Amino acid sequence: MVAENAGLSPTIELRNLHRFFGTLRAVDNVSFSAYPGQVMGFIGPNGAGKTTAMRILATLDLPIAGDALICGESVINEPDRVRRVLGFMPDSFGRYPNMNILEYLDFFARAYGFRGAVRRDAIERVLAFAELEPLLDKQIDTLSKGMSQRLCLGRTLIHDPEVLILDEPAAGLDPRARVELRELIRLLATEMSKTVLISSHILTELGEICDSVSIIEAGKILASGTIEELQQGTGSSVEVDVESAPVTEIEVTMLGDAGGLETWLVQQAYVDQVTVAGQRLTITFSGDDDARHGLLKAIVLADFRVVSFETKTQSLEDTFMRITRGELQ
Amino acid sequence: MSVVDRTLDRTVGLIERLSDRLNPILVKETRQSTQGTFFAMVFLMFIAVSWVVLTLGTLSQWERLETDPTAEMFFGWYYAVLSFAAFVVVPFGAYRSLLVEREQHTYDLLTITTLEPRRIVQGKLASSVLQVLVYYSAIAPFIAFTSILQGFDVLWVSWVLALSFLWSIALCSVAMMTSVSSRHAQWQTTNLVGLIVMLLIGWSTALSFVVVGEAQREMDEPNFWLVTGICVVLGSSYIALAQQVTISRITFASGNRSSGIRWILTIQFWLFVAAIALLSVVNVGVAMDEDAQLVVGTLATLHWTVAGLFLVTESEFLSRRIRSRFSTSRGRRLLSAPFLPGGSRGLVLVFGHLAILCLGMALLAGVLGVATARHARGVVGTFVLVLNAVVWLGVAAIISRWARKVSYRITNAHVRVLTVLLFVLVQFVSMVPMIISGRNSFSVIHALNPFVMVAEVDDAGRIGFAAGVAAMIILLFAAAVLLLVNLPAMYRGIRAVTDGPTPQPTPQPTPQHDPPEGSSGA
């Protein structure tokens, strides 16, 4: 990721951000950056500080120390300038009563200062992108959750911002709506080079659309980097201790009794743990690729009746569970 | 395309271009009102009640319609209907309008647009003004009917309707200010009850004023229009103040929430001085009259004391955003310092104006030769009030600085309440000897009791010379001590502005699309 972003200025940059509410350290020395065209996931358990950090980025809250820059502008010093290049989609959809989709978008276009043809073009662009044209006259308080989220995303895009901050956009959506929203977000980054910072609890989904991820817990960033880096444990980690050092899981299936192989395996180097379930063994392995190759060779030479030897890729969920500690404040 | 179609297209285009110039909030709220049921229902009820008044009034007064002056009675009834809508329904709607934005999570969406807080408040107020105008236009035919009846005074009716319009705007402004005054549910409930009571009192007061019609008989007085003009100007300044407070409450935390209020308070003070000067020119007796002097001194001191309680308890913190907007000229910074946020700078502003007030009063006493004790009640009374203001605002500032060191949990509101409680306690303690002895006698213990002191000054014959002088010395001493104690903080507050780093100009970002035009007013 660093190589990819060489020469580019970050569009989102958090510098030692702090936000405390009394004794609660909602955001505690948080720093990370995101670049144009990047979709960055912001993961953490409930109460980890995701929404607070996002609200600071969206110029809705003020840090007590540190700063956050959007396209080089400080959210503290120049919130007005930040608002021109930033789109924020909060976790709750603000509905105005007695208003249809067209009027809703028209209002926000006016609020961003668009007039006449420019305003009409902006609305048309958003309606086309979010595929809301057939529902122009529909009252917004009668929209389904999926359609509401589309409209909310459309509203976020009305002034064509360079940076999008989406707080739990997929929460409460059915699978189809989630897939559609995911496609839209992917499109924003790849086709329109927008920087997207997205928080979600649905980690599998984030894994599919994010280029990089920051994991936050109890107000602190525990790890950040590309998903591959985090899975391999090579991402920039702040507080990943020895217990959460990079490990690989290997699944071995064999013919016949697995007990002999289990006894043999626990004596081998880099094998931390072996669990047996019928004819299948799961090895927790802390060696590198060469060591893994050596282990496979040794198993074959020892004449164990192995039919498969598979290295399991860690899912984002596994990585999240490995890195976080379930701390509550 | 037919001529009709072309005309229609042109009209639609014209309306759209016109709507581009309007405040977006006004456009949105108008659309919502026209599509919602609430406004339609209230409006239909308004029309229905007006028709009932017309029908019942005409039937009951049928015999007298052409011979007796019934216009006043009909107008009174229509005014009751109109004023209820303008003084209760619309202001309450203005209150709900801002509150609902928070309840329905739309306020954040509004905040992150390029709409400035000023335009949000102006839009909400414009929406209320539009509603009042709709009610005015709806009642117009009925008042037109009244105009053909006997005893219709067009000047009086115009005066009432014009001032009522202003009164309605004032109530809407106060209602909006109330809606943003607190985010806590329990305070919002209290505010709601308080607001409803205030609106009903505002309505009934205005109604009784019009029904009694005292002012109607004074319209021929020489100073009537001058006093009306002064009231309108000063009233408008309070509308501006209420709006500015609302704007400040919704301004982003790093923004400047105080300077606008300070400027309006200052302008109000000078408008007040100008109004008194104007009245004095027209009627010299105003300046000569000791009662008038005391009233002027009391109002001016009260203005700065109440405002000061809020200003001097502000946090001293100047955000980077505020500091980045400092002038590069040291002289300009010095002049602007009292208008920047911060309790110590608030003290400079308030004490400075109280000093100007005392100086003005002293000059007045000198010029008019009323320096003897018997003829200086107004001047001495004002001095007593000003010295008390210095004492209590000084106390508030000290408590505020101390509270910030003790705990972050102590808020500005806590400091204000604490100061007021302390003031009340001192007043009570000073009254204890009087209560115990049952005698209404003045003593030095009343030095920090402005009520007793001013009453004694006002009733100069009763004040014991020795006790009076001793009390004044104690008051002077207390004011001097509190001024001296606060002086270092005031000096540091000004130095923080004059000696701060010179701000560097920030480069303008490259626009990515047509530049938004949402920064100016509607």
Please name the amino acid found at residue B314: E
Whether residue B207 is found in the same domain as residue B308: no
- Please check whether residue A329 lies inside any domain of the structure: no
- Residue A85 and residue A157 in one domain: yes
Domain boundary residue among A237, A269, A301? A237
**Per-residue pLDDT at A318 exceeds 90:** no
Same domain, A228 and A266: no
* A86: CB partners within 8 A, 6+ apart: A57, A58, A59, A70, A161, A162, A163, A164, A165, B112
Residue B1 pLDDT > 70: no
Q: Which residue of chain B comes nearest to A84, CA vs CA?
A: B114
Domain extent at residue B140: 22-219
Chain A residue closest to B113 (CA)?
Answer: A112
Say yes or no for a CB contact (<8 Å) between A115 and B20.
yes
Show which of A207, A237, A267 is a domain's final residue: A237
Mutate to test the interface with B, among A107, A137, A160, A167 (most CBs of B within 10 A): A107
Beta carbons of B114 and A118 less than 8 Å apart: no
Q: Cβ contact (<8 Å) for A96 and B32?
A: yes
Q: Are residues A43 and A164 in the same domain?
A: yes
Compute the average pLDDT of residues B133-157.
Answer: 91
Residue position matching structure tokens 């596994």: A318
Interchain proximity B28–A103, CB inside 8 Å:
yes
Residues A190 and A315 in one domain: no
Q: Is residue B514 part of a domain?
A: no
> Quick check: is B390 in a domain?
yes
Give the residue from B20, B107, B112, B411 with the most A CB atoms within 10 Å of its CB, the best one to mutate.
B112
Least confident of A188-197, B89-98, B182-191, B255-264: B182-191
Q: Are residues A78 and A157 in the same domain?
A: yes
Domain that holds residue A261: 242-323
Of A59, A73, A88, the CB nearest to B509: A73
From A72, A95, A103, residue closest to B31, measured CB to CB? A103
Q: Which of A177-191, A295-309, B214-228, B301-315 has the highest mean pLDDT?
A: B301-315
Distance CA B16, CA B33 (A): 19
- Note whether residue B3 is domain-resident: no
Question: Tokens for B67?
Answer: 């011979």
Mean pLDDT confidence for B64-84: 88
Same domain, A105 and A219: yes
Give the three-class secondary structure for B117: helix
Same domain, A16 and A98: yes
Co-location of B215 and B310 in the same domain: no
- Asked whether B332 and B251 are in contact (CB, 8 A), the reply is no
Q: What is the pLDDT of residue B503?
A: 60
Residue B273 lies inside a defined structural domain of this protein: no
What is the model's pLDDT at position B219? 80
Residue B355's φ and ψ, nearest 5 degrees, are -65, -40
CA distance B99 to B93: 10
**Is B135 contained in some domain?**
yes
Within 8 A of A60 by CB-CB distance, chain B residues are: 108, 111-112
- Report the pLDDT value the prediction gives residue A238, as an integer from 0 to 100: 43
Report whether pLDDT(B9) > 90.
Answer: no
pLDDT of residue B516: 36
pLDDT digits (tens, 9 = 90+) for A220-236: 888 888 877 776 666 55
Who wins on pLDDT, B138 or A92?
A: B138
Residues of chain A positioned with their CB less than 8 A from the CB of B118:
none
- A189 and A286 in a single domain? The answer is no
Alpha-carbon gap, residue B166 to B238, rounded angstroms: 11
Assess whether A233 and A127 both reside in one domain.
yes
Record: contact A111-B24, CB cut-off 8 A: yes
Taking every pair of Cα atoms in chain A, the longest distance, rounded to a whole number of angstroms, is 79
A59: nearest CA partner in chain B: B112
The reply to whether A229 and A319 lie within a common domain is: no
- Number of domain units in chain B: 2
Nearest to A111 among B506, B514, B518 (CB): B518
Name the band, by pLDDT with cuts 50, 70 and 90, for residue B386. Answer: very high
Domain boundary (A202, A237, A272) is at A237
Q: How far apart are CA B360 and CA A288, in angstroms?
A: 87
Q: Is B413 domain-assigned? A: yes
Chain B residue with CA closest to A78: the answer is B321
pLDDT of A57 reads 94
pLDDT, mean of residues B461-471:
66
Residues B328 and B477 in one domain: yes
Q: Give the nearest partner residue to B113 out of A112, A118, A119, using CB atoms.
A: A112
Residue B450: what are its φ and ψ, rounded to 5°? -65, -30
In a domain, A267, yes or no: yes
Do both B465 and B372 map to the same domain? yes
- Which pLDDT score is estimated for B278? 86
- Give the tens place of pLDDT for each residue, B411-459: 888 999 999 999 999 999 888 887 887 777 777 788 888 888 888 776 6
A90 touches chain B (CB under 8 A): yes
Let me know whether B201 and B309 are in one domain: no
Q: The complex's ipTM?
A: 0.82
Whether B396 contacts B415, CB under 8 Å: yes
Q: Do the Cβ atoms of B175 and B95 come closer than 8 Å? A: yes
For chain A, how many structural domains are there in total? 2
Residues 108-137 of A with CB under 8 A from B: 108, 110-116, 118-119
**Measured between CB atoms, which of B32, B114, B324 is closest to A112?**
B114
Residue B327 lies in a domain: yes
pLDDT at B506: 47
- Tell me what percent of the residues of chain A surpass a pLDDT of 70: 89
Residue of B nearest to A159 (CA): B513
Q: Which of B219, B242, B276 is the last residue of a domain?
A: B219
Helix, strand or coil for residue A280? strand
- Give the span between the Cα atoms of B92 and B174, in whole angstroms: 10
From the list A60, A86, A99, which residue is nearest B31 (CB)? A99
Tell me: do B48 and B153 sit in the same domain: yes
Are B192 and B51 in the same domain?
Answer: yes
Confidence of residue B168 (pLDDT cuts 50, 70, 90): very high
Q: Is residue A4 part of a domain?
A: no
Q: Residue B507: is its pLDDT beyond 70? A: no
Residue recorded with tokens 């923080």: B496
Last residue of a domain, one of B203, B219, B235: B219
Q: How far is CA B126 from CA A23, B24, B122, B194, B232, in A?
A: 42, 11, 6, 24, 19
CATH number at residue A309: 3.30.70.100
Which chain B positions have a beta carbon within 8 Å of A84's beta carbon?
Answer: 114, 509, 516
Q: Do the domain assignments include residue B154?
A: yes
Distance CA B286, CA A315 (A): 85
A6 within a domain of the structure (yes/no): no
Q: Tokens standing for B286?
A: 């105003």
Residue range A138-178, pLDDT digits in tens: 999 888 888 898 899 999 999 999 999 999 888 878 888 88
Contact status of A296 with chain B (Cβ, < 8 Å): no
Average pLDDT, integer, range A283-312: 86
Distances (CA, A) of B96 to A291, B170, B193: 69, 16, 13
Within this chain, do residues A233 and A246 fall inside the same structural domain, yes or no? no
A236-283 confidence digits (pLDDT tens) = 554 444 344 456 788 888 887 787 888 888 888 888 888 888 888 888
Alpha-helical segments (H) within chain A: 50-57, 79-85, 101-111, 116-129, 145-157, 175-190, 203-209, 227-232, 259-265, 289-301, 316-323
Residues A171 and A215 in one domain: yes
